[in-house]
Structure 1
Amino acid sequence: MKNFLLVIILISGLASCKGPEEAPEFKYVENVRVTNVTDKEAYLNADAVFYNPNEQGMTLRGIDVDLFIEGREVGRIEQSNKIKIPASSDFKIPLDATFRIGDVGVLNTVLGMLGGKKLSVRYMGYIKVTMNGLPVRVPVDYESEVRLR
């Protein structure tokens, strides 16, 4: 009888530990900018905006996003973070990436630096969050144009 009671308590305890009712929603990427261009590398920064529809906060655990410029994969954003996400609100996650200029193409880069040509930038991957200790992956897929300066 003691074991049966222990099993019932354990099952009810596990049932009360649940993950988020809804996963955070990816909305868009803003403030996309090339912050620095050197002879060999360019530094790209942006803010990914999400919405947490849950009445309970979460914790961001990591970012795993591939970076594409002009349709070519040029890098990966892999960041391990521990950021608190507020309940029922929008939240921003900074994305920082470095890519080799040669990966984009010398001609596109030279034209971009001289004439301010726009380049297509795409972010594709996911972020990892936890709620009540349970992990959730939120997909990211966003494309925009930026100007090299």
Structure 2
Amino acid sequence: MRKLIGWMLLPLLAVGCAKPTGFNYLGVKNFKVLKFGLKESTVGADAEFYNPNKYPVTMKGAAVDVYVNNNFFGKTTLDSTIEIPQKDTFLLPVVLKVNMNNTAMGLLQTLSSGSDSVFIKLDGSTKIGRGGLFINYPIRYEGMQKIRF
């Protein structure tokens, strides 16, 4: 009888331990310059994502390189643990230290010329999981993004 119950619970266990899928990137909100300097500036924003999983997941740490118009713009890291609700959107606070070289100046020129869209590329990784089991998951995105101050 115990073996029969064990075999009947096996599919539930397999579904419960299913590998979580990655998040869908929706865009950037609340873009702001936190500190402006001639050599280095600090930029903040909220990145909006959607969790397509049928269960809540936990995200531990992230490191993402940000490229704007195919030029390296900065690197952001997240060293905290965040609980992400199931089938819901969520915001991640992003803080970038930007070297004010030609890349940042080029972005400022693009935005000052009247264009409010730039090409954004994200490349990095994070750990997502549940129940104490975590996997490394790549973060990859490329696309045009409207930036509003």
TM bracket (short chain): 0.5 to 0.7
**What residue is the counterpart of 1:140 in the other structure?**
140
| Cα distance change on mapping 1:120 and 1:58 into 2, 3 Å | same
Letter in 1 for 2:28: E
How many pairs are equivalent? 133
Once the two structures are superposed, residues 53-81 of structure 1 have per-residue CA deviations (whole angstroms, 9 ceiling, x without a partner) of 33321111122211113321132112212
CA–CA separation in structure 2 for the residues paired with 1:73 and 1:99: 9
Partner of 2:46: helix, strand, or coil?
strand
User: Which runs of 5 or more residues in structure 2 are unaligned?
Assistant: none
Letter in 2 for 1:23: T
1:26 to 24, 27, 31: 24
Once the two structures are superposed, residues 28-77 of structure 1 have per-residue CA deviations (whole angstroms, 9 ceiling, x without a partner) of 22216241321212222222222223332111112221111332113211
Once the two structures are superposed, residues 64-120 of structure 1 have per-residue CA deviations (whole angstroms, 9 ceiling, x without a partner) of 2111133211321122121111122111111110111115165x37746xx824573
Q: TM-score, normalised by structure 1?
A: 0.68
Judge conservation of contact 1:25–1:138 (CA < 8 Å) in 2: no
Once the two structures are superposed, residues 111-145 of structure 1 have per-residue CA deviations (whole angstroms, 9 ceiling, x without a partner) of 46xx8245735241233222222224152314425
Letter in 1 for 2:25: K
**What residue is the counterpart of 2:93 in the other structure?**
94
User: Which runs of 5 or more residues in structure 1 are unaligned?
Assistant: none
1:116 to 103, 112, 115: 112
Q: CA RMSD in A?
A: 3.2
CA–CA separation in structure 2 for the residues paired with 1:123 and 1:18: 31
